[in-house]
Amino acid sequence: MSQTTPALRLTNLFLTPGTRTRKDPDAVFDRLVARATRGRTPLSAEYAADLDHLRLVLRAFAGFPGLSPLGWMAGQALVESRVRNRAVVGDLHARHPEIADQPVEAPVFVVGMPRTGTTLTYNLLSRSPAHRGPKLWEMTHLGLAVDSGTEAALIRRTRKKYAMVSRLSPTWDTIHPLYAEAEEEDTFIRAHSELHASAVPVPGYVERLRTFDHRPDYRFLRDALQVLSYERPARRWVLKHPANLFHMSAIRDVFPDARFVWTHRAPEVALASLCSLAEAAERLHRHPDAVDLAETGRTWLEIMSDGVSRALAQRAELGADVVLDLPYERLTGDPGTVLPELFGRLGARWGAEDEANLTAAREAPRQRAPHQYSLERYGLAPDDVRTAFADYLELLPALPRGA
């Protein structure tokens, strides 16, 4: 299959004049902040300081020689959406102080490397009647509850926005389809993620992520969830994003009663799938000759192995009652047993609606082309991965295998 589409080539041609602003990414960042905050309460000191880390991301986009015109537009959109989220949520909290009284109790974070069953687990947990996860349209248009007609219009706008990704990438719908009405990853709300590096290299930003305090970003997540809870039915929040695995201690500091469901699978399978996702993102954001698959493999082997090592240290501190393990073999081999068991461990009830959700989730992959990937495509061998994940591989044999 071709890795580019005529629509992608035409889009890059059309957007070429807009690349002139790459010369001064700091000025672009300042304009994005000014536009997002215009007419709203100024950003709090914590919100502003935390967002300033995104300058590094925008600078990295602007400075990457192989960036395509679409890549520059997408980099600005990524940053602007995160700035706008902060502006909207801060303004709503200032105008409606009672929003801060909305409880976010015992949230569940589904964590684990991609292709380890996180999506199935997240969908089943978040769609249970007493639970909810943030939907893509809600994160794209953060705000208070709206009437059904306005909601339908926002869903249509969100669907139109993300349909562009499907037209420009021949593989995106196979790897990670985006549905406006469906629950999605909380990275669409928060500012920071190691997965920003899937578009262009952002080494300075990724290095900062290893050491800076992530709690402000998760405090913002809490503030946003309170906005999404206000004047809506009270339900338990369920969240998902692969990089949340690396920051469980920070999450627990902000959400003291949070629980984690860590899905597990052989890292060589998970890493190959992640590299495939990164390749699709690179081909959207870069000129064709700037996609280096061997570099993709090296980058994500380092990011993921380092992050998982840090997660193992945090796991030891948090304890078994906080981090619940879910091996992929159990999840796919006997989901009708393991998922009700997981619900019980989380203090949730498994019922007829959950059974129906499970049936629908098991049917969905059959309606899409299979996602195909291999380590070798990215210059990696299984032994490379096993060496990098040696400490994680020591954990896997100890995980429960039976019902």
Q: 301-321 b/e with 16+ CB inside 10 Å = b?
A: bebbbebbebbeebbeebeee
pLDDT at 236: 98
d(CA 78, CA 51): 12
Select from 226, 308, 218 the least CA-distant residue to 258. 218
Cβ neighbour number for residue 150 with a 10 Å cutoff: 12
pLDDT at 402: 44
d(CA 350, CA 376): 41
Select from 247, 267, 238, 243 the least CA-distant residue to 120. 238
Give yes or no for a contact between 35 and 28, defined as CB atoms under 8 angstroms apart: no
> pLDDT digit of tens for each residue in the chain (403 aa)?
446 688 899 999 999 999 999 999 999 999 999 999 999 999 999 999 999 999 999 999 999 999 999 999 999 999 999 999 999 999 999 999 999 999 999 999 999 998 899 999 999 999 999 999 999 999 999 999 999 999 999 999 999 988 887 778 777 666 678 899 999 999 999 999 999 999 999 999 999 999 899 999 999 999 999 999 999 999 999 999 999 999 999 999 999 999 999 999 999 999 998 999 899 999 999 999 999 999 999 999 999 999 999 999 999 999 889 999 999 999 999 999 999 999 999 999 999 999 999 999 888 765 556 667 899 999 999 999 999 999 999 988 877 654 3
d(CA 119, CA 361): 10
In this structure, what are the phi and psi dihedrals at residue 396, rounded to the nearest 5 degrees? -55, -45
Give yes or no for a contact between 342 and 334, defined as CB atoms under 8 angstroms apart: no
Select from 298, 254, 258, 290 the least CA-distant residue to 111. 258
> Which DSSP letter does residue 43 get?
P
> Which residues lie closer than 8 Å to 248 by C-beta, 6 or more apart?
109, 111, 260, 311, 314, 315, 318, 323
pLDDT at 373: 81
pLDDT at 171: 73
Long-range pairs for 155-158: beta carbons < 8 A, 24 or more residues apart: 155/180, 155/181, 156/180
Exposed/middle/buried for 31, CB within 10 Å: 0-12, 13-18, 19+?
Answer: middle
pLDDT at 2: 47
